[in-house]
């Protein structure tokens, strides 16, 4: 039984390649409705959810599958949207490892005029 499970795990891993798991952290007071993920030439821009359905919660993740031979550094950018307009932004740089999933935690901050970089809180204050 254990051997069978191991075979299943190995079979599953064989189909998987290089990936980056992008997590978006932000102050829920920002009232973000959508997130736009991008990773230089590797992926995006990709807006999730596709349609605004309400205020998002922090900590959401997008798993991005990349080509098996993807390597090097990638700058992951996440933008927070309210009403289709970018109000917050964050980015981080991660090093891809071929055949592995690497985490990329992005902390978003307000982009509104007068707000200093890294300032958290509702963006239309």
In the complex, which residues of this chain contact another protein (CB under 8 A)? 2, 6, 9-10, 13, 17, 35, 37, 39, 42-44, 46, 48-49, 56-57, 59-68, 99
- Rounded to whole angstroms, how far apart are CA atoms 100 and 91? 21
CA atoms within 13 Å, Cβ hemisphere of 11: 6
69, 71, 47: which is closest to 60 by C-alpha? 47
Q: For another protein, which is the closer residue by CB, 3 or 113? A: 3
**Smallest separation, CB 25 to another protein (Å):** 11
- Rounded to whole angstroms, how far apart are CA atoms 114 and 18? 40
Q: For another protein, which is the closer residue by CB, 99 or 119? A: 99
**Smallest separation, CB 124 to another protein (Å):** 22
Q: For another protein, which is the closer residue by CB, 45 or 118? A: 45
- Rounded to whole angstroms, how far apart are CA atoms 116 and 110? 8
């Amino acid at each position: 039984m254990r051997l069978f499970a191991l075979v299943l795990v190995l079979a599953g891993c064989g189909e998987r390649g290089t990936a980056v798991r992008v997590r978006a952290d932000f102050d829920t007071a920002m009232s973000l409705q959508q997130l736009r993920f991008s990773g230089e030439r590797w992926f995006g821009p990709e807006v999730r959810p596709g349609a605004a359905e309400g205020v998002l919660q922090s900590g959401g993740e997008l798993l991005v599958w990349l080509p098996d031979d993807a390597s090097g550094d990638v700058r992951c950018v996440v933008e927070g949207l309210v009403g289709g307009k970018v109000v917050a932004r964050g980015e981080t740089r991660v090093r891809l490892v071929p055949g592995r999933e690497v985490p990329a935690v992005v902390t978003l901050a307000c982009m509104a005029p007068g707000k200093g970089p890294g300032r958290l809180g509702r963006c239309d204050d």
